[in-house]
Structure 1
Amino acid sequence: MLRPDSFPDHLAERVTDHSATAATTASGQFVIYWMRTAVRAHENPALDVALTAGQRLGLPVFVYHALSEKYPFASDRHHTFILEGARDVEAECAARGIGYAFHLERPGHRGPALRTLAAGAALVVTETLPVAPLDWLTDALAEAVTCPVWSVDTACVVPMPLVGKVYTRAFAFRDATTGIRAARLAAVWTDVATHTPPFVPDALPFEPLRLADADIAALVACCEIDHSVAPVPHTPGGTMAGYARWREFVSTGRLDRYAAKRNDASIDGVSRMSAYFHYGMVSTFRVVRECAARGGDGADKYLDELLVWRELAYAFCYWHDAPDTLGAIPPWARDTLARHESDSRTLHSWETLARSGTGDDLWDATQQSLRVHGELHNNVRMTWGKAIPMWSSNAAAALERLLDLNHRYALDGRDPASFGGLLWCLGQFDRPFTPEVAVFGTVRPRRSDEHRQRMNFSAYRAHVSRSAGLSPRVTVIGAGISGLACARTLHDHGIAVTVLDKSRGVGGRMSTRREGEWQFDHGAPSLRLDDPRQARLAESWRQDAVLHEVNDGEFIGTSGMNALPKHVARDLSVKTSVHVASLARTGSRAGSGWAIVDRDGVEHHADIVLLATPAPQAAVLLSTVEDPLAFAPLLAGVTMLPCWSSMIVFDGPPPTIVSESLIGGALSSDSPLVHRAWRQSARPGRSSDEAWVVHSEGNWSAEHIEKDPAVIAALVSEALRAQLQVAGNIVHTVAHRWRYSRVQAGLDDACLFDETQGIGACGDWGAAGATRRSHQSVERAWLSGIALAGRVLGRVTSRSRPVL
């Protein structure tokens, strides 16, 4: 019988048994330590529990470490930080003689590996992190397998299971746990010795990834995650980086000054260790011992923040059933917020908030710190959080926004301490304040303008506006949706980017054309936003009246399909009517820069050039480069079909009024001339005249691609009139030739990028292989542009490993 309560006290007090019965007979061939949030191989209680269990069972132990594409807010930022941490763990485990296998979920490497492994295990040990999704993933595993599953508190000096209940005030938690804390404060942690040679099962259900020499940026680029949130150059992941930051904080005297300087966000007065604590890359126990040994006001205050406020939040999440809901805040706070729900407020969309567009200069600066640098100074985080209820429809919406923005961008997001701080913004761990104020009622307010007056705002803004280590000049060729998505993402991370396009405006195939009094969406008739990574933007574009939803998940531009590209292009540097003719390297070495020459002979210079034109046009441009590029043959292999788009106006409607569903949907037919048609006069804000856009079939368009547009327009107009049975006259008709309209043969890769040469390409041909054909072309184009931006950001944020 294997029981956690039979283990040494310092381990047993940290174990939560998720198995069906507390005492379980363990059978199996090995013990698995499922590593998640204690990404270290020293002073790690979960690893020590696994090793102790292995000794008692006479079985080998190995560490299974995995990174899923599906965890909430999975992005290049979080993935890179975790992989860098895993690289250090791999080395630590090798040094200690512990078997370690890392599974990175990505194309060709997906599947339920853990459950397969657990079928042969005697015990699975993991960490206790009492917030979604890790808590319910632990329970789900315990329900699905026959071996016992234990979680272990690896984060807190006062073990969460010993706290015993929910505490909602810091002073009460501090007083109740004083004795438990004092007994463990200076305890030296002794790692459990290994008892077998390094072990990894022979038949792993995945190909383990060797991280020591892995190209992390390239691996991250392969994953189907959010590539619009870049790694943070100045905060590398891993044990070595974490302890290096801690030693620098102590050695420069900033720990000693912490009590006096910690609230000044304009200076470097805090440790910036929260991301390393969150992922367990450093030992809380070691940091606490060193603080306690140093003593003084600064160390004492640091310990109070670490051991009381942080552990209060951990214990609260452990003992509360739903710490991520409004049910987690006190009844008095819920009641007062509900009573003020009808109070007047300014509603900002998610995109406005995420991109620092509120007009509140302090708040926008804090969000810039979060978006670019992946962190918020704790004192301004409170002001940042208190503003969001003022800009949200109700408390539930405010909490959702708080969790989304913090967890998406902050490297310490999704941590119980984060939940504690965000819930505090809505009254948790606090008391009522009078007099009542708008929106908050008796929940403590925290005004941005008042905070601004008591800080050196100019110094703070300069600090958060500093470069994150990103300096290249980037030129994007093509102002279609793919190029704009790429440029927008780079711009949001502080990259100097210029967009060049041969047309008079932005949008590419999302253009809207005016013909006198009539308006035609003659390219993409609508767009779908089905990918989960698009959900927040879709909601924002609808709220900001950029898009109008016509069917479930299908949108049109409120003032034409070019409304979206115009919106995305706001505050970007876009130069139109620039027709690029050739590319040339500006130096003899790879990556030395590019000269972009337009048809007027004008040179435009960039360190990195990104092609966001149709693939055949990009291939032609690449052919002008003196030495061939490695990915050029791939791009040349993309084939696209053309489309004749005809714009037609009748002087009267068809005999049967066409359904309003044709606002977004299409009238389809077997006729190659009238392959699909959209009734423009049914769209919001259009002329009441009977106006239509017709797309002819691709192969027919290819056969007639060089015909006179007037001839095509006449043929299609008559074909449409016959099909609709319109008795009246055709009063206007014109045809536009989209030479590259629909991808016939695309690539599985989302984009192409040569990091050594500093050149890449994106478009709707990306992720257009058999596995991703469900994406509509506009969405593919957007995701391809984001992916290419991610490749650039991944390269320019790469860093060498810190040295111990």
Structure 2
Amino acid sequence: MLRPESFSDHLAERITAHSADPRITARGEFVLYWMRTAVRAHENPALDVALEAGRALGLPVFVHHALSERYPYASDRHHTFILEGARDVEAECAARSIGYAFHLERPGHRQKALKALTQRAALVVTETMPVPPLDWLTDGLADNAPCPVWSVDTACVVPMPLVEKAHTRAFAFRDATARLREERLRRPWREASPAGPAFTPSDLPYEPVRLIDADIPSLVAECEIDHGVGPVPHTEGGTTAGYARWEAFTQGGRLARYAAKRNDATIDGVSRMSAYLHYGMVSPLRLARECATLPGEGPEKYLDELLVWRELAYAFCYWHPSPTTLEAVPAWARETLAAHERDHRSVLSWETLARARSGDTLWDATQTSLQRHGELHNNVRMTWGKAIPLWSDDAAQAWDRLVDLNHRYALDGRDPASYGGLLWCLGQFDRPFTPPVRVLGTVRPRPTAEHARRLDLARYARQVERPALSPAPRVLVIGAGIAGLACARTLHDHGLAVTVLDKSRGVGGRTSTRREGAWRFDHGAPLFAWRDARLGRYIDSWAHDGIVQAVGDAFIGREGMNGLARHLARDLSVQSGVQVVALERSGTGWQATDGNGGRHQADIVLLAMPAPQAGALLSAVRSSAGGIAAMSETLCAVRMAPCWSTMVVFDGPPPVAVTDALTFGHLTAANEPRLASGWRQNARPGRPSGEAWVVQSAAEWSEAQLERDASSVAAEIAEALRARLQVAGAIVHATAHRWRYARVARGLSVSCLFDRDAGLGAAGDFAQGPEGAHADVEAAWLSGVALAGRILAG
């Protein structure tokens, strides 16, 4: 039998056994290394433990590397970086004759692979990552595995198990670990070797992705993740890119100047290695060893940041029972924050903060850096974090926002080093400061105004506001419905130049609100429902900002259904009343001609209109690019259903209550297709008094009556509704609107269409994805954001 202490000393000190019985027997087909946060095949203690165990047991070693759609803050940004790193690992493992396979979770590939592999293993080895959800997953696997499960510290020079407590001050940690650090700092890493040829199970429970020649943007696009957070092309994932950045830092003289220049966010004075360290694509052991051989204040200060402050956070999370909650903040800090909860503050919504719209110039620049470039200079990051409590209800909300904004956008988020920095913003690893200040109390303040005075703010803003894509394409979006606006705003927030054209007088498409004299009618999409978890934060923000209002399980616009569209369009360049009548290729880009003779140039054209209209527009394009004709055929194959929507006002209410004005319940008439559903408009916020209704007719009836005169339809529907409601009074007003493309009868099983070579895409609620969408507005939003993600992939 094999136990953790049976291994070489430099490995044994890094092992944490998660199983009740840590002993290994030879029962099992192989030793399984579940790779997660040490995405490298060199100087990897977890891999070496697996290789030594395999040699001792006479079993092969197999590296299982997987990427889920369900990890917190899963996005195109994190997925792309991880896949780029995995591509390097695949090549490294092949060069070392180590069996490796990568499982990418996506529609059609959602097998429970880890569970199946664990049932066949003699030992499971993974990395120690002492923050949720990875520590929970490790413990959960150990509770149900038929073999021991061990985790190995791959992140620190001083192994976390040796620290023995959660230190709360850097100086105490520095002193307590000085001997351990010095003993290991310059020690060359002894790598284990495979005992036999590369081994991969012949009957894997998934189809592995061959990354060496994979189309990573297309793979990412298949995944059900947040496509609104784009990749960072100037920070490519992987061991090769990571060490290239490290060598540029150490050999270009910046490391020597690090102590003097590291606090100036406007110069290239830091290593920018945190993302590679977070995912373990480079070895912190190697970086520390190489840095320790160099003289001067720069390397000395860098080592202090790498080995004291960073490893302080890792050890704290390893030894503290609740390191990712407010319980990790010291009692004095929690008490002073609670004592100042009633202090005046201007509470901003999550969306306002996420989109860098706080109104504070420095803070908005820092958030733009996170949003567009996935990184934040550490010196301004502290100021960024200290400001968030000033715009939050209380410390609990401030903590949630610190975690969300950092982890969602930062490539180095979600690890102990990140949590250490965020906890510092609320008082951890620090002492009280007097006198108390507003909101923060005796937690150390860091006002943005003071920081701005010691920073060339204009220069910093120019740096962070540049697009991550270079060169950044000019984008033309045709259609200002929800899909077009969601797409355009996502691209705009990433710094791209976007113009939106729409033939209507205003924005919103089917979420429009129609005015008839004093009355207002939500006659397209009378309400909308959200079921996709990726949208929850937006809904909460829109409700906070008074854009939408909950009505039962659905939402309406507080000032009309087009209020949401107006909100989405607020920062965009939108030209209304402009109908595009022709598209043609112009060099490597596009030229769109509108009905007024205007011409609009762009590198990329995105169609956000009903699929039949988009298909017809493309069918007239003369081009040698085959993708254009194929996209036109695909769009023309979509089947849309019409709907007559009738707006009616009576001079009095029905004699009995027929609907709950608070929940806007539907009127149903199984044998009356003319009155498929109805909504009382005067019960909505800000509407004038009077019995006003919107009635939508069934698709089959609308199809049969499609070419009728609108006035005759309005008269017929108004009379039918009056009879249904038993209204004795007169019909004051009746108008009908024909939505020719109101509903999706047969959509597409993709979330959007995009041809990178042609610079052409299409989005809308007709592109419902492989899982299908639950509501028109939801499907349109998801499709528009997905299309933006295809552009941002570069």
TM category (shorter chain) comes to over 0.9
Match of 2:592 in 1: 596
Structure-2 separation of matches of 1:631 and 1:665: 39
Amino acid at match of 2:692: A
- Corresponding residue SS for 1:757: coil
Structure-2 separation of matches of 1:28 and 1:661: 64
1:699 and 2:695 aligned:
no
- Listed one character per residue, the Cα deviations across residues 504-550 of structure 1 (whole Å, up to 9, x for unaligned) are 00000000001001010000011112111001101100000000011
Match of 1:496 in 2: 497
Match of 1:732 in 2: 733
- Corresponding residue SS for 1:405: helix
- Corresponding residue SS for 1:597: strand
Structure-2 separation of matches of 1:751 and 1:261: 46
- Listed one character per residue, the Cα deviations across residues 131-167 of structure 1 (whole Å, up to 9, x for unaligned) are 1110000011111211111000000000000000110
Match of 1:536 in 2: 537
- Corresponding residue SS for 1:668: coil
Match of 1:244 in 2: 244
Match of 1:680 in 2: 681
Whether the 8 Å contact between 1:593 and 1:605 is mirrored in structure 2 is yes
Match of 1:622 in 2: 618
**Structure 2 counterparts to residues 378-397 of structure 1, below 5 A:** 378-397=378-397
Q: How far 1:190 sits from its partner (Å)?
A: 2.0
Structure-2 separation of matches of 1:468 and 1:709: 49
Match of 1:524 in 2: 525
Structure-2 separation of matches of 1:70 and 1:468: 26
Structure-2 separation of matches of 1:768 and 1:28: 40
**Structure 2 counterparts to residues 163-562 of structure 1, below 5 A:** 163-470=163-470, 471-552=472-553, 554-562=554-562
- Listed one character per residue, the Cα deviations across residues 50-70 of structure 1 (whole Å, up to 9, x for unaligned) are 000000000000110000000
Whether the 8 Å contact between 2:616 and 2:632 is mirrored in structure 1 is no
Amino acid at match of 1:268: D
Structure-2 separation of matches of 1:335 and 1:544: 30
Structure-1 separation of matches of 2:77 and 2:437: 38
Structure-1 separation of matches of 2:19 and 2:301: 39
Structure-1 separation of matches of 2:463 and 2:664: 47
Whether the 8 Å contact between 1:50 and 1:125 is mirrored in structure 2 is yes
Whether the 8 Å contact between 2:313 and 2:419 is mirrored in structure 1 is yes
Whether the 8 Å contact between 1:663 and 1:678 is mirrored in structure 2 is no
Q: Which runs of 5+ in 2 are unaligned?
A: none
Q: How far 1:252 sits from its partner (Å)?
A: 1.2
Q: How far 1:467 sits from its partner (Å)?
A: 3.1
Structure-2 separation of matches of 1:497 and 1:530: 29
Structure-2 separation of matches of 1:662 and 1:668: 17
Q: Which runs of 5+ in 1 are unaligned?
A: 797-804
- Corresponding residue SS for 1:527: coil
Structure-2 separation of matches of 1:147 and 1:772: 39
Amino acid at match of 1:593: G
Whether the 8 Å contact between 1:743 and 1:765 is mirrored in structure 2 is yes
After the TM superposition, which of the residue ranges 484-493 and 528-537 deviates more from structure 2?
A: 528-537
Amino acid at match of 1:601: G
Structure-2 separation of matches of 1:494 and 1:348: 23
Amino acid at match of 1:292: A
Amino acid at match of 2:495: G
Structure-2 separation of matches of 1:160 and 1:452: 38
Match of 1:800 in 2: none
Whether the 8 Å contact between 2:24 and 2:122 is mirrored in structure 1 is no
Q: How far 1:300 sits from its partner (Å)?
A: 0.3
Q: How far 1:768 sits from its partner (Å)?
A: 5.5
Structure-1 separation of matches of 2:145 and 2:413: 30
Whether the 8 Å contact between 1:513 and 1:520 is mirrored in structure 2 is yes
Whether the 8 Å contact between 1:642 and 1:741 is mirrored in structure 2 is yes
**Structure 2 counterparts to residues 28-177 of structure 1, below 5 A:** 28-177=28-177
Whether the 8 Å contact between 1:26 and 1:147 is mirrored in structure 2 is no
Structure-1 separation of matches of 2:119 and 2:661: 52
Structure-1 separation of matches of 2:439 and 2:2: 54
- Listed one character per residue, the Cα deviations across residues 82-136 of structure 1 (whole Å, up to 9, x for unaligned) are 0000000000000000000000001110021000011111011000011111000
Amino acid at match of 1:341: E
Amino acid at match of 2:368: Q
After the TM superposition, which of the residue ranges 452-461 and 535-544 deviates more from structure 2?
A: 452-461
Amino acid at match of 2:779: R
Amino acid at match of 1:461: A
- Corresponding residue SS for 2:733: strand
Amino acid at match of 1:785: G
Whether the 8 Å contact between 2:552 and 2:663 is mirrored in structure 1 is no
Whether the 8 Å contact between 1:662 and 1:678 is mirrored in structure 2 is no
Whether the 8 Å contact between 1:65 and 1:102 is mirrored in structure 2 is yes
Match of 1:801 in 2: none
Whether the 8 Å contact between 1:512 and 1:522 is mirrored in structure 2 is yes
Amino acid at match of 1:356: A
Structure-2 separation of matches of 1:616 and 1:547: 30
Q: How far 1:662 sits from its partner (Å)?
A: 5.9
Match of 1:787 in 2: 786
After the TM superposition, which of the residue ranges 658-667 and 333-342 deviates more from structure 2?
A: 658-667
Q: How far 1:295 sits from its partner (Å)?
A: 2.1
Amino acid at match of 1:703: A
Amino acid at match of 2:791: V
Structure-2 separation of matches of 1:745 and 1:28: 49
Structure-2 separation of matches of 1:411 and 1:144: 32
Match of 1:9 in 2: 9
Structure-2 separation of matches of 1:662 and 1:419: 43
**Structure 2 CA distance for partners of 1:651 and 1:343, relative to 1, 3 Å:** same
Match of 1:802 in 2: none
Match of 1:608 in 2: 604
- Listed one character per residue, the Cα deviations across residues 476-519 of structure 1 (whole Å, up to 9, x for unaligned) are 00000000000000000001000000000000000000100101
Structure-2 separation of matches of 1:39 and 1:631: 38
Structure-1 separation of matches of 2:689 and 2:469: 54
Structure-1 separation of matches of 2:469 and 2:223: 24
Whether the 8 Å contact between 2:62 and 2:200 is mirrored in structure 1 is yes
Structure-2 separation of matches of 1:561 and 1:228: 23
- Corresponding residue SS for 2:413: coil
Q: How far 1:658 sits from its partner (Å)?
A: 3.5
Amino acid at match of 2:233: P
Whether the 8 Å contact between 2:469 and 2:792 is mirrored in structure 1 is no
- Listed one character per residue, the Cα deviations across residues 603-631 of structure 1 (whole Å, up to 9, x for unaligned) are 21110000000011111111111145322
Whether the 8 Å contact between 1:277 and 1:284 is mirrored in structure 2 is yes
State, as a whole percentage, how many aligned pairs show the same letter: 66
Whether the 8 Å contact between 1:488 and 1:568 is mirrored in structure 2 is yes
- Listed one character per residue, the Cα deviations across residues 217-271 of structure 1 (whole Å, up to 9, x for unaligned) are 0100000000000000110000000000000011110000000010111111100
TM-score by length of 1: 0.97
Structure-2 separation of matches of 1:424 and 1:495: 34
Q: RMSD across aligned C-alpha pairs, in angstroms?
A: 0.9
Structure-1 separation of matches of 2:245 and 2:24: 43
- Corresponding residue SS for 2:605: strand
Q: How far 1:25 sits from its partner (Å)?
A: 3.3
- Corresponding residue SS for 1:548: strand
- Listed one character per residue, the Cα deviations across residues 193-216 of structure 1 (whole Å, up to 9, x for unaligned) are 111100000110000000001000
- Corresponding residue SS for 2:754: strand
- Corresponding residue SS for 2:649: strand
After the TM superposition, which of the residue ranges 455-464 and 570-579 deviates more from structure 2?
A: 455-464
Amino acid at match of 2:485: L
Amino acid at match of 1:153: D
Whether the 8 Å contact between 1:512 and 1:560 is mirrored in structure 2 is yes
Amino acid at match of 1:607: D
- Corresponding residue SS for 2:212: coil
Structure-1 separation of matches of 2:744 and 2:532: 19
Q: How far 1:664 sits from its partner (Å)?
A: 3.5
